[in-house]
Amino acid sequence: MTETTTRQADQIAPAFVAAADEVVARYPVSIRSASLPLLHLWQNEFGFVDDSGIEWISARLGLVPINILELVTFYPWFRREAAGRTIIRVCRTLSCAMAGSHEVKEKFCEAVGLDPHAGHHGFGCAPPTSPDGKFSVEFVECLASCGSAPVALVNDDLIENIRPDAVAALVEKLK
Protein backbone atom coordinates (compact mmCIF):
# COMPACT_ATOMS: atom_id res chain seq x y z
CA MET A 1 0.00 0.00 0.00
CA THR A 2 1.18 3.53 -0.73
CA GLU A 3 1.76 5.78 2.24
CA THR A 4 -0.57 8.72 1.87
CA THR A 5 -0.04 11.85 3.83
CA THR A 6 -3.24 13.53 2.72
CA ARG A 7 -6.55 11.91 3.44
CA GLN A 8 -8.81 11.76 0.43
CA ALA A 9 -11.82 12.54 2.60
CA ASP A 10 -10.30 15.94 3.44
CA GLN A 11 -10.50 16.90 -0.23
CA ILE A 12 -14.19 16.24 -0.78
CA ALA A 13 -15.97 19.04 -2.61
CA PRO A 14 -19.67 19.89 -2.18
CA ALA A 15 -20.34 18.58 -5.70
CA PHE A 16 -19.09 15.17 -4.60
CA VAL A 17 -21.42 15.13 -1.62
CA ALA A 18 -24.31 16.04 -3.92
CA ALA A 19 -23.37 13.29 -6.36
CA ALA A 20 -23.25 10.83 -3.48
CA ASP A 21 -26.71 11.91 -2.36
CA GLU A 22 -27.99 11.32 -5.86
CA VAL A 23 -26.50 7.82 -5.87
CA VAL A 24 -28.05 6.97 -2.51
CA ALA A 25 -31.47 8.12 -3.72
CA ARG A 26 -31.49 5.32 -6.29
CA TYR A 27 -31.83 2.77 -3.52
CA PRO A 28 -35.03 3.61 -1.68
CA VAL A 29 -35.37 0.18 -0.08
CA SER A 30 -31.90 -0.20 1.40
CA ILE A 31 -29.16 2.39 1.22
CA ARG A 32 -26.54 -0.30 1.76
CA SER A 33 -27.08 -1.03 -1.93
CA ALA A 34 -25.30 2.24 -2.62
CA SER A 35 -21.95 0.93 -1.39
CA LEU A 36 -20.74 -0.29 -4.76
CA PRO A 37 -21.78 2.86 -6.66
CA LEU A 38 -20.21 5.04 -3.97
CA LEU A 39 -16.97 3.12 -4.31
CA HIS A 40 -17.09 3.76 -8.06
CA LEU A 41 -17.78 7.43 -7.45
CA TRP A 42 -14.87 7.60 -5.02
CA GLN A 43 -12.39 5.81 -7.23
CA ASN A 44 -13.39 7.90 -10.25
CA GLU A 45 -12.85 11.06 -8.19
CA PHE A 46 -9.62 10.18 -6.38
CA GLY A 47 -8.07 7.40 -8.46
CA PHE A 48 -8.13 4.85 -5.66
CA VAL A 49 -9.76 4.26 -2.29
CA ASP A 50 -7.78 5.08 0.87
CA ASP A 51 -8.78 4.38 4.47
CA SER A 52 -10.58 7.69 4.74
CA GLY A 53 -12.69 6.70 1.72
CA ILE A 54 -13.70 3.44 3.35
CA GLU A 55 -14.58 5.30 6.52
CA TRP A 56 -16.46 8.06 4.73
CA ILE A 57 -18.58 5.67 2.63
CA SER A 58 -19.39 3.41 5.56
CA ALA A 59 -20.38 6.41 7.69
CA ARG A 60 -22.52 7.83 4.87
CA LEU A 61 -24.42 4.53 4.66
CA GLY A 62 -24.64 3.83 8.39
CA LEU A 63 -22.34 0.81 8.08
CA VAL A 64 -19.07 -0.17 9.68
CA PRO A 65 -15.84 0.16 7.66
CA ILE A 66 -15.39 -3.60 7.20
CA ASN A 67 -18.62 -3.67 5.17
CA ILE A 68 -16.89 -1.49 2.59
CA LEU A 69 -13.38 -2.91 2.92
CA GLU A 70 -14.67 -6.42 2.20
CA LEU A 71 -15.99 -5.16 -1.13
CA VAL A 72 -12.74 -3.45 -2.03
CA THR A 73 -10.83 -6.66 -1.34
CA PHE A 74 -13.29 -8.80 -3.30
CA TYR A 75 -13.88 -6.87 -6.50
CA PRO A 76 -10.91 -6.69 -8.87
CA TRP A 77 -11.98 -3.24 -10.09
CA PHE A 78 -11.16 -1.39 -6.88
CA ARG A 79 -7.67 -0.52 -5.74
CA ARG A 80 -6.09 1.00 -2.67
CA GLU A 81 -3.24 2.75 -4.43
CA ALA A 82 -2.83 5.00 -7.45
CA ALA A 83 -2.66 3.55 -10.95
CA GLY A 84 -1.46 5.18 -14.15
CA ARG A 85 -3.49 7.93 -15.80
CA THR A 86 -4.32 5.57 -18.64
CA ILE A 87 -5.17 2.02 -17.66
CA ILE A 88 -4.85 -0.57 -20.40
CA ARG A 89 -6.75 -3.77 -19.69
CA VAL A 90 -5.98 -6.48 -22.21
CA CYS A 91 -8.33 -9.46 -22.38
CA ARG A 92 -6.56 -12.73 -21.70
CA THR A 93 -9.49 -15.17 -22.03
CA LEU A 94 -9.81 -17.87 -24.67
CA SER A 95 -10.92 -16.15 -27.88
CA CYS A 96 -8.56 -13.24 -27.31
CA ALA A 97 -5.71 -15.54 -26.31
CA MET A 98 -6.22 -17.55 -29.52
CA ALA A 99 -6.10 -14.28 -31.45
CA GLY A 100 -2.78 -13.27 -29.91
CA SER A 101 -3.63 -11.23 -26.83
CA HIS A 102 -0.50 -12.34 -24.99
CA GLU A 103 1.66 -10.78 -27.68
CA VAL A 104 -0.55 -7.69 -27.66
CA LYS A 105 -0.09 -7.29 -23.93
CA GLU A 106 3.67 -7.68 -24.23
CA LYS A 107 3.73 -4.97 -26.90
CA PHE A 108 1.73 -2.65 -24.68
CA CYS A 109 4.14 -3.23 -21.81
CA GLU A 110 7.16 -2.59 -24.02
CA ALA A 111 5.62 0.55 -25.51
CA VAL A 112 4.96 2.11 -22.11
CA GLY A 113 8.21 0.92 -20.53
CA LEU A 114 7.00 -1.94 -18.34
CA ASP A 115 8.44 -5.39 -17.84
CA PRO A 116 6.01 -7.61 -19.79
CA HIS A 117 6.49 -10.43 -17.33
CA ALA A 118 5.98 -8.51 -14.11
CA GLY A 119 2.95 -9.92 -12.37
CA HIS A 120 0.01 -8.16 -10.82
CA HIS A 121 0.49 -8.02 -7.08
CA GLY A 122 -3.02 -8.98 -6.17
CA PHE A 123 -6.24 -7.52 -4.92
CA GLY A 124 -6.14 -3.91 -3.82
CA CYS A 125 -2.84 -3.19 -5.55
CA ALA A 126 -2.58 -1.04 -8.62
CA PRO A 127 -1.67 -2.85 -11.82
CA PRO A 128 1.99 -2.46 -12.91
CA THR A 129 2.47 1.22 -13.69
CA SER A 130 5.08 2.93 -15.85
CA PRO A 131 7.70 4.97 -13.99
CA ASP A 132 6.28 8.25 -15.35
CA GLY A 133 2.87 7.35 -13.88
CA LYS A 134 1.19 7.64 -17.26
CA PHE A 135 0.23 4.04 -17.96
CA SER A 136 -0.84 0.88 -16.20
CA VAL A 137 -1.15 -2.37 -18.09
CA GLU A 138 -2.85 -5.53 -16.91
CA PHE A 139 -4.60 -8.63 -18.10
CA VAL A 140 -8.32 -8.93 -17.40
CA GLU A 141 -10.84 -11.67 -18.12
CA CYS A 142 -13.28 -11.75 -21.06
CA LEU A 143 -14.50 -8.25 -21.98
CA ALA A 144 -17.52 -9.55 -23.91
CA SER A 145 -16.16 -8.69 -27.32
CA CYS A 146 -14.73 -12.06 -28.31
CA GLY A 147 -15.86 -11.70 -31.94
CA SER A 148 -13.41 -8.84 -32.49
CA ALA A 149 -10.53 -10.39 -30.57
CA PRO A 150 -8.03 -9.42 -29.38
CA VAL A 151 -9.47 -6.49 -27.47
CA ALA A 152 -8.42 -4.13 -24.71
CA LEU A 153 -10.22 -1.61 -22.58
CA VAL A 154 -8.25 1.64 -22.55
CA ASN A 155 -9.76 3.67 -19.71
CA ASP A 156 -13.42 3.76 -20.83
CA ASP A 157 -12.90 2.82 -24.46
CA LEU A 158 -12.82 -0.60 -26.04
CA ILE A 159 -10.22 -1.17 -28.73
CA GLU A 160 -10.90 -4.14 -30.99
CA ASN A 161 -8.96 -6.33 -33.42
CA ILE A 162 -5.64 -5.13 -32.07
CA ARG A 163 -2.66 -6.07 -34.19
CA PRO A 164 0.56 -6.47 -32.19
CA ASP A 165 2.46 -4.36 -34.71
CA ALA A 166 -0.02 -1.49 -34.30
CA VAL A 167 0.35 -1.23 -30.53
CA ALA A 168 3.36 1.11 -30.46
CA ALA A 169 1.57 3.69 -32.62
CA LEU A 170 -1.56 3.36 -30.50
CA VAL A 171 0.40 4.09 -27.34
CA GLU A 172 2.03 7.13 -29.00
CA LYS A 173 -1.45 8.55 -29.59
CA LEU A 174 -2.40 7.95 -25.96
CA LYS A 175 0.68 9.74 -24.57
Q: Enumerate binding residues for ligand FES (CB under 6 A).
A: 91, 93-96, 142-146, 149, 151
Separation of alpha carbons 136 and 39, rounded Å? 20
Least distance in angstroms from the C-beta of 168 to ligand FES: 21
Count, residues in the chain: 175
13 binds, among ligand FES, another protein, none (CB under 5 to 8 A by kind): none
Least distance in angstroms from the C-beta of 167 to ligand FES: 16
Q: Binding of another protein at residue 26 (CB under 8 A)?
A: yes
Stretch that binds another protein, among 32-40, 80-88, 110-118, 165-173 (CB under 8 A): 32-40
Least distance in angstroms from the C-beta of 85 to another protein: 16
* Residue-by-residue DSSP string for the chain: ----SS-GGGG--HHHHHHHHHHHHT-SS-GGGGHHHHHHHHHHHHSS--HHHHHHHHHHTT--HHHHHHHHTT-TT-BSS---SEEEEEE-SHHHHHTTHHHHHHHHHHHHT--TTPPP--TBSPPPB-TTSSEEEEEES--S-GGG-S-EEETTEEE-S--GGGHHHHHHHH-
Q: Binding of another protein at residue 28 (CB under 8 A)?
A: yes
Q: Binding of another protein at residue 141 (CB under 8 A)?
A: yes
Q: Which is nearer to ligand FES, 61 or 170 (CB)?
A: 170
Q: Which is nearer to another protein, 106 or 168 (CB)?
A: 106
Residue from 49, 140, 154, 162 touching another protein (CB under 8 A): that is 140
Q: Which is nearer to another protein, 74 or 132 (CB)?
A: 74
